[in-house]
Structure formats: structure tokens, C-alpha cells
């Protein structure tokens, strides 16, 4: 399953549209006023299905992932010199990024591929392609991609 993740061009807060390959809307993401990033993920009918919330009193960016009010995991940026490194505390998955911070691979505990996250270059806004092996994991992978994008934004 492939999702296209596009940041909206004119928006005061972070907001994104997530599309399926056929162009139909899979999710919308709205930034909310909060200390740090707070991104609320909604289904096409407007129901809230997940939240990515930055924890602000940390040395390096940390983002909690929520389904409803239940925290299901977190994404933390690690201190490294030459390539981006994130620790993923969610479903036993691991994440690895390339040197330029554009491509990421999400694997399960046995090393099996869960998804790839690739940033498209030469776009007006942040645009990512999410290739998800199992469609049931699409929302989790989207939350991870949102956390990474927000961490990159916080770093800048």
C-alpha cells in the first residue's frame, strides 16, 4: 500500500493531506495549538483516529503517539554526528535513516520490512511517500513519518 503525504502550502499550523495512490483522501492532519507540535490525524469523515504530540521538556525531540487517549509508543531523536537516528518505542519496531535524512526504513523485531518512508525532493512543501507492507499498519507508519517531519522542523 502506498500513501502520499503532502504538507499544505498555506497554513498557520502544520497541516497535511494524506492520499492513497488513486488520489482519494486517506487522512487529514491538523496542527493544534500546544506547547510543541500537536498533530491530530482524522479519517476522511472527520473522526479523530490518532495524535502525535511533542514532549517539550526533553533535551532532544520526543514525540508520543496516541490512538484516542491511549499512548501506543514514542519516537525519539538520538544524538548522532553523521546520520539521523531515531529510537522507536512502538510495536517492537526499529527505524533506520539514510545520511541525508530523506529516506527511512521501518522494520519489525525480526528484521522484516514494515514500511519505507521517502522524502520527495524539489517540492514546494514537505512531501513523503509511505510504502506500507500491511495496510493495517498505515496509521502507525503515518504517525512515525509525522514525528520525523516534526523533529526535522524542530531541529531547523
In a domain, 10, yes or no: yes
Query: What does the pLDDT read at residue 156?
Result: 47
Confidence of residue 16 (pLDDT cuts 50, 70, 90): confident
**Rounded alpha-carbon distances, angstroms, from residue 80 to 66, 67, 87, 140:** 27, 30, 12, 25
pLDDT at residue 23 greater than cutoff 80: yes
Q: Within a domain: residue 24?
A: yes
Domain membership of residue 14 as a residue range: 2-74+118-155
pLDDT at 155 exceeding the cut of 60: no
Exposure b/e, 70-81, CB count within 10 A at least 16 = b = eebbbbbbeeee
DSSP the chain: -EEEEEE-SS-SS-EEEEEETTS-EEEEEEE--SSS-EEEEE-TTS-EEEEEEEESSSSS-EEEEEETTEEEEEEEE---SSS--EEEESTT-EEEE-TTSSEEEEE-TTS-EEEEEEEPSS-SS-EEEEEESSGGGHHHHHHHHHHHHHHHHHH-
Average pLDDT over residues 71-89: 81
Residue 92 lies in a domain: no
Residues 6+ positions from 151 with CB-CB distance below 8 Å = 61, 63, 75, 77, 86
Instruction: Give the percent of the chain with pLDDT over 70.
Output: 84
Tell me if 130 is assigned to some domain: yes
Identify whether 87 is part of a domain: no
Total Cβ atoms within 10 A of residue 89: 15
Which of 41-45, 65-69, 125-129 is predicted with the least confidence, judged by mean pLDDT? 125-129
pLDDT for residue 20: 94
Average pLDDT over every residue of 78-98? 81
Residue 27's pLDDT band, with cuts at 50, 70 and 90, is: very high
Residues in the chain: 156
Residue 66 included in any domain:
yes
Query: Between 8 and 128, whose confidence is greater?
Result: 128
And the C-alpha cell for 75? Answer: 519516537
Assess if residue 85 is contained within a domain. Answer: no
Count of domains observed in the chain: 1
Cell reading at 30: 491538523
Residue 100, domain member (yes or no): no
Would you state the pLDDT for residue 78?
A: 77
Q: How far apart are CA 102 and CA 94, in angstroms?
A: 17
pLDDT confidence tier of residue 12, bands split at 50, 70 and 90: low
pLDDT of residue 110: 93
Q: How far apart are CA 64 and CA 37, in angstroms?
A: 10
Amino acid at each position: 500500500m502506498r500513501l502520499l503525504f503532502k504538507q499544505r502550502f498555506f497554513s498557520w499550523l502544520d497541516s497535511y493531506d494524506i492520499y492513497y495512490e488513486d488520489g482519494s483522501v486517506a487522512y487529514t492532519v491538523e496542527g493544534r495549538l500546544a506547547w510543541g507540535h500537536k498533530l491530530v490525524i482524522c479519517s476522511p469523515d472527520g473522526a479523530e483516529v490518532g495524535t502525535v504530540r511533542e514532549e517539550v521538556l526533553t533535551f532532544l525531540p520526543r514525540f508520543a503517539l496516541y490512538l484516542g487517549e491511549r499512548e501506543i509508543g514514542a519516537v525519539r531523536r538520538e544524538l548522532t554526528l553523521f546520520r539521523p537516528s531515531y529510537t522507536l518505542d512502538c510495536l517492537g519496531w526499529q527505524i533506520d535513516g539514510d545520511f541525508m535524512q530523506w529516506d527511512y526504513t521501518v522494520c519489525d523485531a525480526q528484521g522484516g520490512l514494515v514500511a519505507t518512508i521517502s522524502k520527495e525532493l524539489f517540492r514546494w512543501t514537505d512531501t513523503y511517500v509511505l510504502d506500507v507492507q500491511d495496510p493495517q499498519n498505515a496509521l502507525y507508519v503515518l504517525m512515525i513519518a509525522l514525528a520525523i517531519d516534526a523533529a526535522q522542523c524542530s531541529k531547523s
